[in-house]
Structure 1
Amino acid sequence: MNEAPPISHYTALSNATRLPSAVETLVEFFGSRDVEAYFVGGVVRDTLMGRKSEDIDIAVSVDAVTIGRQLAEALGTHCVSLHDEWQVARMALNDAEWSGYVDIATIQGDIEWDLCRRDFTINAMALPMSEAYHDDVEERLLDPCGGLPDLHAGVVRMVSPSAFDADCVRLMRGVRLAAQFEFSLDSETAEAIRERAALISDAPRERVRDELMRLLRTDQAYDGVRLLDELRLLCTVMPELANAKDVTQPKEHYWDVFNHLIEAVGWVDAMFRGDCDDVFPLNFVPRFEGMAEYFDRDVSDGFDRLTFLKLTALLHDIAKPSTKTVEDSGRIRFMGHHSEGAETVRDILTRLRFGKRGVEHVAGMVQQHLRPTQMAQKGEMPTGRALYRYYRDAGDIALDTLYLNMADYLAARGPALERSDWVNHCSLMQYILEEGQSSENRKRKESVQSLPKLVDGYDIIDRFALASGPGIGKLLETVREAQASGEVSTKEQALELVRASLERGGDGA
């Protein structure tokens, strides 16, 4: 992990979190009711780091649900009870400056005892609301576990090993926080996680999913995944990955299957960093207008295309171990690993409670990840018909799959990457990308359903004296592909294409 960034000092909580209206409202509300209330956890940590906090956690000395309902009424929003036993209430706030959740919890015991029950020291600090606008915020913190020194040092440290026993999802969270903030993981904390790694199997799967995806969402996903593996968490969450370890590949591959998958995650990270314009091999990666916005779009479960691309990179060759064969000549093959991999991915992601759209998004990319380099002979560019087929079959994942293919290529070659081969590969990806993105091809794709019918099945049967059956449908699809790519535009041209197809293969296949 990299050295932690320096902590910026702010004169007021509201300024640091950039939530002046939300914080001011909360301070006024609790102050007017003379309620002992504290900002706790992530909002304090993020404030001290100069980061915008996604959520605001508050600890109060009264019943959280009751006071939460009063606050919700005052703010014109709704309050829900998250945990009746521990008295936790949540409400959503959404204004011009900030949107997120406000969680209110009843203090268990006193505030310091409550903080010592938390997961990591950097999350175990509190700031009294009455002190939120003082200049010396750090001096007014309640920090019984030493979170502030760890924050300055860039260290993720457990409050105690029992924190993991109380909530095993914290095993994943520790790794995610280290990746998210580019912090180091304290050695005793790492060992405590390693010893308890098996407990993650008992955690609610949707929470494990969210921690994994939040880790992949960071710019340090590669380091995070490596750390998950070192701490025995990765293959506990996805046992199928364990089968990929030490599985050798053909000589074109530098890594075994398992390391290839993790390296692919790293290359996705690298391709989307903003500092790679002059760095080989990243400076040859094709870009397109609106690329950042495209990969920032939500796919499923609150996570974007880029995060799902990293997840797919981690899983794209998951079926190689089960499909590996070695011929008498010594040649290694993985026949059908893309199709079997798509099914395996469906099983894994369904088990982890991913939404159906997310499952199919990843499975589709796994199914299609070889296609971009199979569309033309080496050294040639794909025909219009091949491009039509690719964009038709890949659909919504067509662009994503191109970047998966590039990460796959880089991870396969590793340090043995040849400059000329990579430049040629990127030229192919650029061509597929530009042809798919060009206004002419985009209009053709959008209007394909409204193309006039040049021939129907009866025309083909009558002209060539064929019997009806599945072969006629294949011939009609051949005509439609050629029509969509601009190769034919009249009935006679279409029938001539059918004739040529029959002479080649008999049914247009």
Structure 2
Amino acid sequence: MEKLIKTINGLSGGCEVYGVGGFARDLLLKRKHEDIDLAVNKNAQKFSKKLAVSLKAKFVILDDKNKIYRIMLSKDYPVKNIDVSLFDGKTINEDLKNRDFTINAAAFKLKDFASYKKNLLTVNNKVLKDLKTKTIRAVSDNIFKSDPLRMLRAFRFSAELKFALSKDTLSLIKKYSSSVLNSAPERIKNEFFRILSAGNSREILEVMDKCLLLPALFDAISHMKKASKKHYYHPGGLFEHSFETMSAAENILNNLRKYFPENAAELKEHFFKTGEYSENITRANLLKFAALFHDSAKPETAKKEGAKMRFFGHEDLGAKKISDVMKSLKMGKKEISAASFLVSKHMRPSTLTKNNIVTKKASLKFFRDIEDNTPDLLILSMADWHSYKKLKIHSKKELKFQEDSVRKLLKEFYELKNKKPLSKIIDGHIVMKKFALKPGPWIGDLVNLVLEKQYEGKLADTAAALKFLDSKLTQIKKKYKL
């Protein structure tokens, strides 16, 4: 770090360069920092480009209007990024007064890095006190008016730092909550999913809801809150059930070793690895997001049959609704597809296990249909069941059976996944030639029938596979009217 700071100082030329915001905060908290935040009095873009060239890094314009730039460093450096901004005001003191929260309103001349504590500048006498008491406090009453996204940033800091928001700041957020959508969708997405990445996102979202931020962010949540409570088991209605499902999913993800001792390591890798989706998105926080919206279409599909309420088709409509929500946040196609798939299939695990017996054939078909989303869907189903624990809707025996079924299916899934790939004894071309069939979905059905028998260890070569398919041909032709 010292070497990098020395390089930056050597390139500063006639600029005043200050370490600010999260950089100063994390130094004071003795936290590992991923980024270096700098503020300069002039030539922010010129200085940033000079840094990028010298450090052989990528230069990115974050906000050209407000003169904010990023230098993305390689893995050879102790931090990921250097963010450079022009003073928000004529001096560093004015800049600090325009920052969001007191914990971020500290600065030091970068040339004083070795003795930054002695040369620390703060916006007021609450900065060090708030860092000590772990309090997030608005610098002024106008911070959310000038940038509504700061409301989400407040809760993201709360989640990541384990700090609490001051009462005055919570009141301000409640006052300005309706303006949150005036922020750029991409920025909302990044902050919200960083909140969901925390292991304590349940308690953070609970406070956000009390400040009216959740219904302001998502119309779907507003509609869930307005849905008639008489159709649902939870006293708080549909939203309480959805929130409890998200909370249960978080609890399971936080305790994988407890719930899945045999597959905990594989599940941890599956849910928390990065790079599969866009920045700040993992399977873990995507699962929590899906859990929050999995039943969002129940109000539109509610229909009474005798003494019971039914919600036929709520899975498919719910998949469309969560897709619309994610599109409004400018999310990527891959993560939209994954979340909507989970919502569309969230009833399937319970349907699979309802008869207390899951045959080998049935589990293989399930794995083939759900593929790599199998762990996600099974844990979503388990969380759905757990959401009723406090209400005691299900007996302990029923809950135990459901948990045991999920554990068994996950164990089978990973056993199959880790097995040596099956030898390819048949393919579509062989099937079409042998039975004089044209291309179509029936070819996939026939090939899958062979795969199922292969997994069961009942077919070993092409001749046996074709003989088996010959016995199934009439059934497939009848199904597709061939």
TM beyond 0.5: yes
1:230-379 pair list within 5 angstroms: 230-245=210-225, 246-248=227-229, 256-273=237-254, 283=259, 287-297=263-273, 298-302=275-279, 303-327=281-305, 329-379=306-356
1:459 positional shift: 6.9
Instruction: Summarize the Cα distance change of 1:207–1:473 in structure 2 as closer, same or farther, 3 Å threshold.
Output: same
Structure 2 letter corresponding to 1:400: D
1:306 positional shift: 0.9
Structure 2 letter corresponding to 1:307: N
1:209 positional shift: 0.9
Q: Is the 8 A contact 1:253 1:413 kept in 2?
A: no
Q: What percent of counterpart residues are identical?
A: 24
Instruction: Summarize the Cα distance change of 1:354–1:450 in structure 2 as closer, same or farther, 3 Å threshold.
Output: farther
State the partner residue of 1:144. Answer: 123
1:96-495 pair list within 5 angstroms: 96-107=76-87, 108-134=89-115, 137-145=116-124, 146-245=126-225, 246-248=227-229, 256-273=237-254, 283=259, 287-297=263-273, 298-302=275-279, 303-327=281-305, 329-380=306-357, 382-416=358-392, 418-439=395-416, 443=419, 447=422, 451-452=426-427, 456=431, 476=446, 479-480=449-450, 482-486=452-456, 489=459, 490=464, 491-495=466-470
1:45 positional shift: 1.3
Instruction: Summarize the Cα distance change of 1:152–1:332 in structure 2 as closer, same or farther, 3 Å threshold.
Output: same
- Structure 2 CA distance for aligned equivalents of residues 432 and 299 of structure 1: 24
Q: Is the 8 A contact 2:246 2:291 kept in 1?
A: yes
Q: Where do 5+ consecutive residues of structure 2 fail to align? A: none
Structure 1 letter corresponding to 2:470: L
- Structure 1 CA distance for aligned equivalents of residues 377 and 236 of structure 2: 21
- Structure 1 CA distance for aligned equivalents of residues 426 and 447 of structure 2: 13
Worse-superposed segment, 362-371 or 471-480: 471-480
Q: Is the 8 A contact 1:471 1:507 kept in 2?
A: no
SS of residue matched to 2:98: coil
Query: Deviations for 1:317-354, whole angstroms, at most 9, x for unmatched residues?
Result: 11112111122x22011111111111111111011100
Q: Is the 8 A contact 2:42 2:86 kept in 1?
A: yes
1:29-48 pair list within 5 angstroms: 29-30=11-12, 33=13, 35-48=15-28
The answer on 1:496 being equivalent to 2:471 is: yes
How many pairs does the alignment contain? 470
Instruction: Summarize the Cα distance change of 1:469–1:309 in structure 2 as closer, same or farther, 3 Å threshold.
Output: closer
Structure 2 letter corresponding to 1:133: A
1:19-98 pair list within 5 angstroms: 19-30=1-12, 33=13, 35-98=15-78
Instruction: Summarize the Cα distance change of 1:472–1:311 in structure 2 as closer, same or farther, 3 Å threshold.
Output: closer
Structure 1 letter corresponding to 2:249: V
- Structure 1 CA distance for aligned equivalents of residues 272 and 445 of structure 2: 40
Instruction: Summarize the Cα distance change of 1:471–1:118 in structure 2 as closer, same or farther, 3 Å threshold.
Output: closer
Q: Where do 5+ consecutive residues of structure 1 fail to align? A: 1-18, 463-467
1:271 positional shift: 1.8
- Structure 1 CA distance for aligned equivalents of residues 83 and 444 of structure 2: 58
- Structure 2 CA distance for aligned equivalents of residues 83 and 472 of structure 1: 54
Give RMSD over aligned pairs. Answer: 3.1
Q: Is the 8 A contact 1:488 1:494 kept in 2?
A: no
Q: Is the 8 A contact 2:15 2:43 kept in 1?
A: no
- Structure 1 CA distance for aligned equivalents of residues 426 and 441 of structure 2: 22
Structure 2 letter corresponding to 1:77: A
Structure 2 letter corresponding to 1:102: I
- Structure 1 CA distance for aligned equivalents of residues 216 and 246 of structure 2: 19
Instruction: Summarize the Cα distance change of 1:479–1:209 in structure 2 as closer, same or farther, 3 Å threshold.
Output: same
Structure 1 letter corresponding to 2:270: Y
SS of residue matched to 2:386: helix
Structure 2 letter corresponding to 1:26: I
Q: Is the 8 A contact 1:385 1:482 kept in 2?
A: yes
1:69 positional shift: 2.1
1:494 positional shift: 3.1
Q: Is the 8 A contact 1:225 1:262 kept in 2?
A: no
